[in-house]
Structures are given as C-alpha cells and as structure tokens.
C-alpha cells in the first residue's frame, strides 16, 4: 500500500510537488494508476545546465513518489520534430538551407550522428545516466510519423474554432515575462521566438491559424500555407513558399506534420496522462504555453492540466546567458568533469525551482566542495536531520542506482587541487602526498572520482596567473639580497631538512624555524614576534620556490618538490 510523507519528517519543494502530482493522479483516474511525471526538451543545440533543470526537477519528484510506494514513471519527450530555427555560431552557414526542417531531418554537421537532434541528445543521455536519472524516452518524430497522435490531431482540427477562441482570449491577456538580467532577457527572447514559430498563421481566411502544420513533401520545410481542408476526407492542401510545391496530404493516413506547439503540448498531457510537468518562467506567464494549454486541454481534450512547478534560469558565472541554439555553453557533461554527480544534483535540489542561480567554475568550486563535505558530516548524525540533510539525501542516492559514486577516502577538494597544481597533475604523486599529509588510502582508486575532478579543474579552470609555477633555477638576485634574519632562517631550515620528511616533520620544522631564531624550541608556543617572523619567513619561501607571495601550504609544497629540489632553490650562492 502506498504511503505518504511521514509526520515530523523534514519537507521541501520536492515533497510538495509530489503531493500535488499524486493528488492530480487520483483526481483523473483510479487510485492505483501509474503516475506520470513528464519532461521535454528540444535538441536544437547543446543541452546546457539551464535545460538540466527540466530533467532534474522531474527526476526528484518522481523519486519522491517512488519512495512513497507509488507506481511512477519519468517520461521524457524529445521534441525532435520541432523545426530547425537558426544556424548557431561555429556551424557552416550553408546549414541555413535546413531551416524549417525537423531537427531529426537535419544532417549532423560534424558527421558523427545520424542527425542534428541525435548529435545533441547523446551527450546529455550519457550525463543523465552518470547522474542516476532514469527515464522513459520518446521521440516526437517517431510518434508523429507512426500516427500515434492521429486521432488527437483530427480531433483538434475538428475543434479548431474552439482552439482559436482560447488562443484569441489569451492573446488579449499576454504579458511578457520580466527578466531580471540581460542573460534572462536573452533567454526569454529565444524562447518567445521558438514559440512564435509554432503559432504563426498557417493559412488564410477561414484557415488562418490552422492548428496543424505539415512539412512540405518536396523540400521538407514547414514554410507552408494551408489553402484548403476537407473535414470529411481529411485532405489538406497547401503551398510551400520555399520551393513552390503545391500538393495535398491526408491528415488521417499520411503523417507529414504536427500540431502547433500550444495545441501539441496539452494534447500530449491528455494522451500520456501527465500528472506533473515543470516549465520555465517563459512558459508560465499569462498568454504563454502553459496557461494557454490549461484551457486547451480542458475545453478541447477534456483533461485536467498537470500540476507544475515554475523554474527560473540557471546561468554560469562570468559567461553569457546559456542559449542552446548558440552553442559554446557548459553542459551537464562539462560540469561532471569538475563536480561529483551528487554535488551537481545538489545544486538543483537544494533550491526552490523558482530560485535562479549561477554555476561558478572558478574559486567557488572549492567552497562548494567544502560546504558539501560539511553537510555530509552533518547528515551522518541522525539527530541533525533537517531540510538541508534531506536535500543531501536526495542528491546522494536514487532508488534504482543506490548511492552514487563518492570517494572511499574523502580528501578536501582544496587539498587535492592544491597538490595537483604543484605536481603537474600526476595522479600517483598526488596520491602519495595526500597519504603523507594524513589521508591514508590503499590506492589512487580510493580517491576517485574526486581526484580526477580536482585535476581537471586545476588544469582547465584555474587561470594561468593563479597557477603555482615552481622555479626551474634559484632566484640568485633574491638570495643575494637576504637580510641577516633571512640568512639565519634558511640556514636553520636547510640544516634540519630531512632527506625523506613526512608531513608532520615538515610542519613542525617550517613553523619552528622562526622560533629558533628567537631562541625558542621547535615545540614552544609562538610569541607575537615569532608570529610576525613566520609571516616574513613564509613569504620568503614562496618567493624563492614559486616566485609568488603565497601558494599552497608549505609542507605540501615541500613534499611535492622533494628535499633535493627545495635545497637547490633555497641554498644561497657560495661567497
């Protein structure tokens, strides 16, 4: 027997969305019917981190419904029967000849997939598997071409006057969504353009705004005008403005087109029995797709619109707004090169869908890992279970995959990236050093997948100006200019530096040298004067070793370089 959320358990937006989806299912069918949570995306370009919110929002809600014991599916529609709208930057301008054709009929410019649509589906499908997202996928090209919607298409055409009344009513209410940034404004402009492509007039006179648009039989484009339609025979005549073709298609038997978007979407709600489907801000304002669809599905298809959640934009710090048709934007696959799968999931589940946020691939990555590790420690205490821990749990595991991959031995990301920086990305050397600084492990594999992420982040996302570059030769000018204190510190350090030190020895020695200069022992507590000397000494070491004022922790740096290299860079020239 299905169960609800437990009294006293922490709740979040996922809990409430699951409640709404279950309620919708019970109001539109038998209590034990399969609950459908739906997502949809048009593979018009790279499916970026903004698009990922569509998938993960549905995934988390379906997971919560499944946790309660209900039969549920995550149904994803690939809108690959949508038109190819424009040629993005980086693609041969000759591809403009395909504008107006279905995405599934446009060739892959890179010649590695059967079509444009498949080229952009595949990377996201792979990333979703890594993220633990399982879904039932359908291609709208296959559905329409197979005649799966023929009955509903004919029904919509018969009720085209009712549809037009709904659309006309909402045209007078249309309110453009307000963007909070230039990035959001660009996103809304792209979305509105996509939608308008689907609702422009496809005929004239009584056939104006005909709800079904065929693709031209000769050139494959949707640049057609309906010139006649026979309700009895379902013959539809059209002319194509691109190639001049004039012909007839039979809507009942020749599946050469599709419903316009604002009719297509609500039609699918009814056919698939959708109980929950989120949508971006651009689809949820008055006169937009979801608000129009609610009336169309009720008045034309006799179904109740699914419960929903409005989600806001996801951007990337320091980059322009992510538009899938423009290319050159970070995708889920890109993010998974730097972030462990649970952490990427956590970015989306810990916030209300309406809350916009940026993914920062800069220094924020280090802080993000620190925050995640702190939350993991909190989650280990059952007495501290709250909404934050609930988000951690949702991000960490799925019903089908169980716990998603995390390191067997958790080393702070800042430690791994720091070591990777000074070791030029040698996994074995990183492994050895982090073991010596207190993170015992049996093999490199115990540090994965975090180690690989840290190495990638250090190599690809840390600016060259912030990288640690070990000097190849001693800084003779600086060594020649040492003052009396500096000469003493270096002499004491070199005299006591073991050939094969461990991290504790190095820490004691490096912090202790200024104590020796003040007549104290290595283990004595530092005085204020010693603390000031330590700052000067550390700065001197960074200058001589990496030509900088600061860098990775000095014990770690010494371990990475080895005692012989350290001596070669710190030994003053013979006089």
The DSSP secondary structure of 221-262, one letter per residue, reads -S-EEEEEE-TTT-EEEEEETTT--EEEEETTT---EEE-HH
Burial 353-388 (b: 16+ CB within 10 A, else e): beebbbbbbeeebbebbeebbebeeebeeeeeeeee
185, two tokens = 């404004």
The rounded distance, in Å, linking the Cα atoms of 423 and 546 is 13
- Contact criterion met (CB below 8 Å) for 15 and 5: yes
- 224 in Cβ contact with 240 (< 8 Å): yes
- How many Å apart are CA 119 and CA 115, to the nearest integer? 6
Report residue 166: phi and psi, to 5°. Answer: -65, -45
The full DSSP string for 454-481 is HHHHHHHTS-GGGS----SS--HHHHHT
Between CA 459 and CA 314 the distance in angstroms is 25
Q: What is the rounded distance in angstroms from the CA atom of residue 242 to the CA atom of residue 36?
A: 40
* Pair 409, 434: CB distance under 8 Å: no
Q: How many residues does the chain have?
A: 575
The number of angstroms, rounded, from the C-alpha of 279 to the middle of its chain's C-alpha atoms is 16
Q: How far apart are CA 187 and CA 478, in angstroms?
A: 54
CA distances from 131 to 157, 276, 329, 380 (A): 41, 21, 19, 22
In 426-575, alpha helices (H): 427-436, 450-460, 476-480, 484-496, 503-517, 528-546, 554-561, 563-570
Q: Which residues of 410-431 are buried (b: 16+ CB within 10 A; e: fewer)?
A: bbbbbbbbbbbbbbeeebebbb
Residue 93 tokens, joined: 């301008």
Nearest to 314 by CA among 53, 56, 57, 50: 50
* CA quadruple 459, 460, 461, 462: dihedral, nearest 10: 30
pLDDT tens string, the chain, 575 residues long: the values are 445 556 678 999 999 999 999 999 999 988 889 999 999 999 999 999 999 999 999 999 999 999 999 999 999 999 999 999 999 989 999 999 999 999 999 999 999 999 999 999 999 999 999 999 999 999 999 999 999 999 999 999 999 999 999 999 988 765 555 555 544 555 545 554 444 444 444 666 678 789 999 999 999 999 999 999 999 999 999 999 999 999 999 999 999 999 999 999 999 999 999 999 999 988 888 878 899 999 999 999 999 999 999 999 899 885 544 444 445 689 999 999 999 999 999 999 999 999 999 999 999 999 999 999 999 999 999 999 999 999 999 999 999 889 999 999 999 999 999 999 988 778 998 999 999 888 999 999 999 999 999 999 999 998 888 889 999 999 999 999 999 999 999 999 999 999 998 889 999 999 999 999 999 999 999 999 999 999 999 999 999 999 999 988 999 999 999 999 999 999 988 75
């Amino acid at each position: 027997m299905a169960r609800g959320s437990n009294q006293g358990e922490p709740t979040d937006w996922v809990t409430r969305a699951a409640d709404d989806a279950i309620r919708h299912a019970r109001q539109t069918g038998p209590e034990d019917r399969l609950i459908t949570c739906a997502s949809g995306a048009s593979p018009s370009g790279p499916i970026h981190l903004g698009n990922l919110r569509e998938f993960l929002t549905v995934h988390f809600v379906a997971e919560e419904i499944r946790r309660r014991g209900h039969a549920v599916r995550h149904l994803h529609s690939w809108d690959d029967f949508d038109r190819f709208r424009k040629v993005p930057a980086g693609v041969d301008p000759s591809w403009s000849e395909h504008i107006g054709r279905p995405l599934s009929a446009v060739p892959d410019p890179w010649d590695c997939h059967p079509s444009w649509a498949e080229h952009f589906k595949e990377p996201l499908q792979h990333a979703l598997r890594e993220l633990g997202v399982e879904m039932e996928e359908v291609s709208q090209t296959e559905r329409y071409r197979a005649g799966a919607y023929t009955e509903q298409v004919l029904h919509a055409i018969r009720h085209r006057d009712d549809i037009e009344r709904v659309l006309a009513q909402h045209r007078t209410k249309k309110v453009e969504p307000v963007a909070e940034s230039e990035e959001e404004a660009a996103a809304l402009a792209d979305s509105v353009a996509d939608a308008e492509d689907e609702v422009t007039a496809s005929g004239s006179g009584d056939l104006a705004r005909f709800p079904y648009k065929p693709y031209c039989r000769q050139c494959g484009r949707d640049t057609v005008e309906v010139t006649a339609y026979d309700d009895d025979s379902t013959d539809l005549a059209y002319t194509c403005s691109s190639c001049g073709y004039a012909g007839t298609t039979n809507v009942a038997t020749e599946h050469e087109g599709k419903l316009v978007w604002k009719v297509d979407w609500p039609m699918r709600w009814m056919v698939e029995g959708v109980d929950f489907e989120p949508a971006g801000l651009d689809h949820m304002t008055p006169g937009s797709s979801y608000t129009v669809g609610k009336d169309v599905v009720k008045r034309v298809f006799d179904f109740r619109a699914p419960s929903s959640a409005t989600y806001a934009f996801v951007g990337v710090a320091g980059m322009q707004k992510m538009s899938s048709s423009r290319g050159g934007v970070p995708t889920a696959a890109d993010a998974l090169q730097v972030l462990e799968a649970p952490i990427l999931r956590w970015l989306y589940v810990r916030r209300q869908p309406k809350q916009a946020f940026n993914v920062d691939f800069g220094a924020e990555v280090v802080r993000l890992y620190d925050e995640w590790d702190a939350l993991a420690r909190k989650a280990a205490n059952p007495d501290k279970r709250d909404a934050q821990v609930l988000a951690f749990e949702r991000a960490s595991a799925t019903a089908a995959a169980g716990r998603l991959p995390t390191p067997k031995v958790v080393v702070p990301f800042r430690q791994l990236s720091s070591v990777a920086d000074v070791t030029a990305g040698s996994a074995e050397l990183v492994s050895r050093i982090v073991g010596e600084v207190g993170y015992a492990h049996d093999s490199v594999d115990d540090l994965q997948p975090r180690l690989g992420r840290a190495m990638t982040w250090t190599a690809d996302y840390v600016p060259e100006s912030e990288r640690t570059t070990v000097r190849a030769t001693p800084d003779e000018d600086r060594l020649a200019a040492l003052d009396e204190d500096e000469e003493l510190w270096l002499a004491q350090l070199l005299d006591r530096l073991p050939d094969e030190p461990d991290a504790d020895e190095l820490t004691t020695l490096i912090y202790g040298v200024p104590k020796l200069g003040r007549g104290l022992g290595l283990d004595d507590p530092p005085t204020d004067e010693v603390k000031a000397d330590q700052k000067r000494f550390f700065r001197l070491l960074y200058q001589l070793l990496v030509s900088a004022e600061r860098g990775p922790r000095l014990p770690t740096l010494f371990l990475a370089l080895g005692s012989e290299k350290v001596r070669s860079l710190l030994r003053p020239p013979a006089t």
